[in-house]
């Protein structure tokens, strides 16, 4: 019997997982490298059930991350259109890893949470993601991935501060909807939201 049936179920799963990886002091690069490694066995599948997506992200938190491959920094990781299959999702994640590696040499500074562009120094290959970054730790990345890519959050969760509601209005929350299957393109969009959603 599925345990992840709605966007809210997956949002809450990502929120819990983010707290766990924060407590374990994971870097975002380490988490994304572990996620990339954990996803490889699922790469031949076109669709994933929401439970599979939840299990994949949970598995990443228990997977030893592979080392960063310096070749990713100079590789052409561009997309020819909207992301679709596993290879496109992989290009998105490797683009993010290359950006995070660039930030090690050129730290984003104390105001990074207000948005900063990845340095992408000379010799960087084309990347599948925008240069703009707002989220640099796994907990924030996961929460923003789910909130921006799926919705399902509630102000009472304590992770998201919505715009103030009009006087007499009900508390602000994101609509809850059923999830059936997700594609690698959906997961690529989650990754971009993790990077850029505020």
Of 113, 125, 116, 120, nearest to 74 by C-alpha is: 125
Mean pLDDT score of the chain: 94
**Number of domains observed in the structure of the chain:** 1
List, for residues 75-106, the tens digit of each pLDDT value: 999 999 999 999 999 999 999 999 999 999 99
Give the sign of the dihedral formed by CA 122, CA 123, CA 124, CA 126. Answer: positive
In terms of pTM, does the model score above 0.85?
yes
pLDDT at 155: 83
Q: Say if residue 172's pLDDT is above 80.
A: no
Residue 85 lies in a domain: yes
DSSP type of residue 58: H
Query: In this structure, is residue 2 part of a structural domain?
Result: no
Instruction: With beta carbons less than 8 A apart as the criterion, state whether 128 and 78 touch.
Output: yes
The predicted pLDDT at position 144 comes to 97
Mean pLDDT of 117-122: 95
Q: What pLDDT score was predicted for residue 141?
A: 98
pLDDT at 113: 86
Q: Is residue 119 part of a domain?
A: yes
More confident residue, 98 or 169: 98
- Min mean pLDDT across 100-114, 126-140, 154-168 is at 154-168
Helix axes 50-61, 28-39, angle to 10 degrees: 130
**Is the confidence at residue 163, as pLDDT, over 80?**
no
- Is residue 179, in this structure, part of any structural domain at all? yes
Query: Residues for the chain: how many in total?
Result: 198
Is 115 a domain residue? yes
pLDDT the model gives residue 169? 73
- Asked, for residue 1, whether it belongs to a domain, the answer is no
Owning domain of residue 18? 7-66+74-196
What is the Cα–Cα distance from 144 to 192, expressed in whole angstroms? 9
Give the model's pLDDT for residue 69.
Answer: 97
Helix (H, G, I), strand (E, B) or coil at 198: coil
Q: Is the pLDDT of residue 173 over 90?
A: no
Q: What is the pLDDT of residues 23-62, one digit of tens each?
A: 999 999 999 999 999 999 999 999 999 999 999 999 999 9
Q: Which residues, including other chains, have CB under 8 Å from residue 24's CB and lie 6 or more apart?
A: 61
- The per-residue pLDDT for 1 is 59
pLDDT at 171 over 70: no
Q: What is the 3-state secondary structure (H, E, C) of 110-163?
A: CCHHHCEECCCCCCCCCCCCCCEECCCCHHHHHHHHHHHHCCCCEHHHCCCCCC
Residue 43 neighbours by CB distance under 10 Å: 12
**Contact between 103 and 119 (Cβ < 8 Å):** yes
Does some domain include residue 128? yes
Mean pLDDT of the 114-126 span: 95
């Amino acid at each position: 019997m599925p345990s992840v049936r709605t966007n809210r179920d997956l949002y809450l799963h990502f929120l819990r997982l983010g707290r766990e990886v924060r407590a374990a002091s994971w870097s975002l690069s380490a988490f994304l490298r572990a996620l990339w490694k954990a996803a490889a066995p699922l790469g031949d599948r076109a669709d994933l059930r929401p439970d599979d997506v939840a299990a994949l992200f949970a598995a990443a938190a228990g997977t030893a991350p592979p080392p960063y491959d310096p070749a990713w920094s100079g590789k052409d990781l561009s997309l020819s259109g909207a992301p679709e299959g596993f290879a496109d999702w992989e290009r998105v994640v490797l683009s993010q890893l290359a950006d995070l590696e660039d930030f090690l040499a050129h730290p984003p500074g104390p105001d990074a949470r207000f948005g900063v562009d990845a340095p992408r120094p000379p010799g960087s290959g084309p990347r599948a993601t925008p240069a703009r970054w707002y989220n640099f730790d796994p907990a924030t990345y996961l929460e923003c991935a789910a909130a921006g890519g799926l919705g399902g959050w509630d102000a009472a969760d304590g992770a998201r501060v919505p715009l103030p509601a009009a006087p007499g209005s009900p508390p602000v929350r994101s609509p809850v909807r059923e999830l059936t299957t997700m594609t690698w393109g959906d997961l690529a969009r989650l990754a971009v939201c993790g990077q850029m959603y505020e």
